[in-house]
Amino acid sequence: MAERSPAGKVGGRLRLLRTTAFKLAAVYLAVFTIFAAFLIFYIAKNTTQLLTTQLAEAVDQETLELARQYEVGGLSRVARIIDRHSRQPGASLYLVTDPDGDIIVGNVAAVPPEVLTRPDSDLHPIPYRRLEEDTSADHVALVRVFALPGGFRLLVGRDIGERQRFVAIIRQALILTVGLMVVLGLASWLFVSRRVLKRIDSISATSRQIMTGDLSGRLEVTGTGDEFDRLALSLNTMLARIEALMVGLKQVSDNIAHDLKTPLTRMRNRVETALAHPDDGGREALVTTLEDADQLIRTFDALLMIARTEAGSSGLAFGEIDGSAVVADVVELYEPLAEDAGVSLSADLPDEPVMLYGNRELLSQALANLVDNAIKHAGEVVEDAHVTIGLKRGKAGVELSVADNGPGIPEADRPRVIERFVRLDESRTRPGFGLGLALVAAVTKLHHGELRLEDAAPGLRAVLALPNERALTDDAKSSEAKDQAAAAVSGGGKGA
């Protein structure tokens, strides 16, 4: 494995420093470090003040007690008490000196000479040395000095070594805490940055793969369920949809080229024949050519209508409609065609009106396409063919159905017959371009419904399962696609 060049390593480090993860980690680290330092400083300062206050109160209390003992028994009594207290271990300091500054009693070996000559008795720190200690072992204490009658001096104090040790511990804790936070912050930043960059690099690699034309690329899903996984799942769903649309577009393009080539070639041949022999059936050739042109126009109209319907931007508003009236209109429209084809056409309607929320023209067009297909296929195969249009309330809403007793559709072919230009007649001898069921599927999807192709035993039952009107109305209020629902219906949708 080739090693990275120094320039590549430097570039990688610079890229890490420019990442959002590094910036966030630096901000959080600075904020928490400042907060931790302030908190420790605040605790140390207040604790030191508390200890100093307690020392001052203890010194004042003991000074008052010695003053009372002096009033009771004089200097000799105070000296005995101080001598007894000096023999006890602890931080208390006592010292009594004569007018010349010589020590009479106490546990202090030496203090600065100016301490005993001060006229005030405020509490202040001084260096001192205890009895029987090395002369170099200096300590610090908070003391208060009082002048006794006769030029004698009384010193009472407390050693502050414990307070200094406490301050040192706090200072050390502050340094360790800040250092630990810096180390942990850097470690967290490195971990998060590398992890985030790895996921982003994966997304970038997949994007480059897709941009080269390979639509099968998908983003990595680690299974942790984090925000990157949720983003990857959403984008993968979108990519799968785009891939399916592109595959469908390619199939549609191929089918258009295949299905329209024959009629266009036939039209061209007729025109050439008419031009070559203007007096030999030219009018009949033009009439036939005009019929083929009309069929091509209807085909393109159907394609345009399907595209607009699937996009939900076709321009017709939704509203509440009477499903029974829609079925009755379709029956009235197709009765002559069914009679000519020798097919019995009937409607199975409930006693009470069934209200739908949708677009009347689109639902009528979808129902008409199903009836047209049923009449064509059943009438060609069965002598006593019949087609029934049904309307009923289902569990989740309303169901419109068209059932016939014709040859039906094999179960394996039902999922693909709703695709554009798919025809089970491989020889393509029957009229049409395989767009009828594709339009029905698009209209059903626009209404948030489901198109089911079922076995009518014999024959086929096509069911448009539509949501109940209340659910669809609520959804329509929040969807702009429902406010502008369907394309202007032209004659090209029927039987395509």
Whole-number Cα distances in Å, 242 to 80, 119, 458: 101, 95, 38
Which range (160-169, 274-283, 400-409) has the least confidence?
A: 274-283
- For the chain, the average pLDDT equals 76
Work out the average pLDDT over 30-41: 79
Give the CA distances from residue 72 to residues 69, 75, 76, 146, 374, in Å, rounded to whole numbers and listed in that order.
Answer: 5, 9, 10, 17, 128
> C-alpha dihedral over 350, 353, 355, 360, to 10 degrees?
90
285 compared with 204, residue with greater pLDDT: 204
Phi, psi of 103 (to 5 degrees): -75, 125
Please determine, for residue 473, whether its predicted confidence score (pLDDT) is greater than 60: no
- What's the pTM? 0.47
pLDDT (average), residues 358-387: 84
State pLDDT tens for residues 136-195.
557 888 888 888 888 888 888 888 877 778 778 877 877 787 788 778 777 777 777 677
Stated length of the chain: 496
Give burial (CB, 10 Å; 0-12/13-18/19+) of 277.
Answer: exposed
pLDDT tens string 101-137: 788 888 888 888 777 777 666 777 888 877 766 555 5
